[in-house]
Amino acid sequence: MMANLKIKPIITAIVVSLVLASCKAPMATVIKDEVKESVPQNFGENEAQDANTNSGTTPWRQFFTDPNLVSLIEIALKNNQELMITLQEIEIAKSGVLYKKGKLSPIVAAKLGAGVNKAGRYTSEGAGDATTQIEPGREMPDPLGNFEGGLMANWEIDIWKKLRTEKESAVAHYLSTVEGKNFVLSNLIEEVADSYYELLSIDNQLDIIQQYIKLQEKALEISKIQKQAAATTELAVKKFEAELAKSKATEYTIRQQITEKENGINALLGRFPQSIVRTKESFMSTIPQTVYTGIPSQLLANRPDIKQAELELKSAKLDVEAARKEFYPSLEISATLGLEAFKPSYLVKMPESIAYNMAGELAGPLINKTAIKANFQTADAKQIQALYEYDKTILNAYLDVANLMSKVKNIDQYYQLKSQETKALDESIDIANQLFRNSRADYLEVLLNQRDALDAKMELVEAKQKQLSTVVDIYKSLGGGWK
């Protein structure tokens, strides 16, 4: 008796020491959002922005005024496959939240079972069954059947809030997928708008090349008349014929570009090839919208990719916390309640057939913690990776806006100068043609003037397209499009 009293404290001390040993857990890496804290006050050194005016908060239906473009965007938002895939990612993340939430509650299951057991006669079990009487004069059957039915439950008590932490991580990941969907929306609207303006640009280039072909046809006729009058040579006629053939070949190249661009837009709209409804006549007279950038810190709230990265960082931090709690002991409670008998007819005899049990188990890792350590180290590395991704997203967002603001100003100046160049070259064409008719200029001067004018007009159309696309790009970079 005294020996038992001495052994119990020793066993208790061993159990306590083992539990404490299992509770030792490594510390996670402490990370800090330094990039977020050091976001500049303005997008440019000499730029002063107003926090109350930010085009990124404008709904896309108000930002885009072309009814044809609005209609295309509406179709894309309904049918785009990339967007549909993203929506399924949200559903997957939502199911992940429900799964983690379900682990917080007990698992209760119903069970039915039947079996038979034949123990050897010369074993303790067989000898005991052979000498056991159920009722006077009735011995245990051999072989011995077993029939049971009832409820069984298992519940992990969340004593360290590990399961709650895992659920919070799943919620943060779910919210990040929602922001990811918003970012896909912004990108989709930007891509549809940019493609639409590119299509209008190519349409206008086609008009220009067709006008140039008519000009070349007239020049060819004049060169033939000049040759008959001995005012020029066969070489001039062949040069004009070659230039005309080159222009006609360019026309077919542009037509192919139109087909491919239309099909590209249809792909974004999730439909088979068909004509894109558009009005090309007013393209060159379209005035780009004025964009207000607000202040850089507003990007943190307006850009869905930044919010997505922030939520993924939060989820990664919670994953580290949950992985750290794997080093702590876990407490599980299991219980069963039902009816059990070796013969089905005895199941209704109560309370003899009633069977139940309940057990609690506290267990923690002691010796082999390699898997747990590896899981923790992986989670810790992922949270550092998520921080770098978050910082990179903020930095890229700021640079996007800063670059596009500069581009807006420079492309405007470029467009103005190209307009002046085009006007001057148009006038020079008339002068060159007049001089050529009067034999005061040769065919090379006419050809060079016409080529320069064609190139300038093509570049002017491209400049207009870049003007409009840059405004769309800066709208998206400010976080616009998804609201």
* 442 in the same domain as 385: yes
Answer whether residue 131 is part of any domain: no
Alpha-carbon distances of 191 from 12, 303, 367, 476, rounded to whole Å: 69, 17, 56, 10
The label of the residue with tokens 């983690």 reads 100
Q: What is the number of structural domains in the chain?
A: 2
- CA nearest to 196, candidates 283, 83, 80, 84: 283
Spatial separation of the C-alpha atoms in residues 369 and 364, rounded to whole Å:
10
- CA nearest to 426, candidates 418, 438, 436, 415: 418
DSSP letters along 418-482, please?
HHHHHHHHHHHHHHHHHHHHTTSS-HHHHHHHHHHHHHHHHHHHHHHHHHHHHHHHHHHHTT-S-
What one-character DSSP code corresponds to residue 135?
E
At a CB cut-off of 8 Å and minimum separation 6, what does 135 contact? none
Spatial separation of the C-alpha atoms in residues 207 and 281, rounded to whole Å:
10
* 168 in the same domain as 148: no
pLDDT of residue 450: 84
The label of the residue with tokens 């050897």 reads 120
Helix (H) / strand (E) element for 100: namely helix 81-102
Domain with residue 153: its CATH number is: 2.20.200.10
Answer whether residue 20 is part of any domain: no
What one-character DSSP code corresponds to residue 283?
T
Question: What proportions of the chain, in percent to the nearest 5, are helix, strand and coil?
Answer: 65, 10, 25
Last residue within a domain, chosen from 363, 387, 419: 363
pLDDT of residue 19: 54
Answer whether residue 21 is part of any domain: no
Answer whether residue 352 is part of any domain: yes
Spatial separation of the C-alpha atoms in residues 96 and 168, rounded to whole Å:
11
Spatial separation of the C-alpha atoms in residues 289 and 299, rounded to whole Å:
20
Answer whether residue 78 is part of any domain: yes
283 within 8 A of 463, measured Cβ to Cβ: no
The tens place of each residue's pLDDT in the chain, 483 residues long, gives 444 555 555 555 555 555 555 557 888 888 887 888 888 888 875 555 676 788 999 999 999 999 999 999 999 999 999 999 999 999 999 999 999 999 999 999 999 998 888 877 778 777 776 677 666 666 667 777 888 999 999 999 999 999 999 999 999 999 999 999 999 999 999 999 999 999 999 999 999 999 999 988 988 888 888 788 777 788 888 988 998 999 999 999 999 999 999 999 999 999 999 999 999 999 999 999 888 998 999 999 999 999 999 999 999 999 999 999 999 999 999 999 999 988 888 888 888 889 999 999 888 888 778 999 999 999 999 999 999 999 999 999 999 999 999 999 999 999 999 999 999 988 888 787 777 677 666 767 777 888 888 999 999 999 999 999 999 999 999 999 888
* 147 in the same domain as 294: no
Helix (H) / strand (E) element for 361: namely strand 354-363
What one-character DSSP code corresponds to residue 295?
-
Answer whether residue 132 is part of any domain: no
* 51 in the same domain as 183: yes
Spatial separation of the C-alpha atoms in residues 247 and 242, rounded to whole Å:
9
* 302 in the same domain as 204: yes
* 461 in the same domain as 351: no
* 334 in the same domain as 228: no
Helix (H) / strand (E) element for 322: namely helix 304-324
pLDDT of residue 405: 92
The angle, 0 to 180 degrees and rounded to 10, between the axes of the packed helices 67-79 and 162-228 is 140
- Report the relative pairing of strands 354-363 and 330-341 from DSSP bridges: antiparallel
* 211 in the same domain as 115: no
Which residues, in sequence order, are bridge partners of residue 332? Answer: 156, 361
320 within 8 A of 30, measured Cβ to Cβ: no
Answer whether residue 287 is part of any domain: yes
Answer whether residue 307 is part of any domain: yes
Would you mind telling me the total number of residues written for the chain in this entry?
A: 483
- Identify the domain containing residue 183 by its residue range: 27-103+162-329+375-478
User: For residue 430, what are its two tokens?
Assistant: 């008339």
* 356 in the same domain as 445: no
* 356 in the same domain as 415: no
What one-character DSSP code corresponds to residue 54?
B
* 402 in the same domain as 317: yes
The label of the residue with tokens 């390699």 reads 370
Query: In a 3-state reduction of DSSP, which class is residue 232?
Result: coil
Query: In a 3-state reduction of DSSP, which class is residue 154?
Result: strand
* 98 in the same domain as 110: no
Burial of 50 (0-12, 13-18, 19+ CB in 10 A): exposed
Please give the model's pTM, rounded to 2 decimal places: 0.85
Domain with residue 310: its CATH number is: 1.20.1600.10
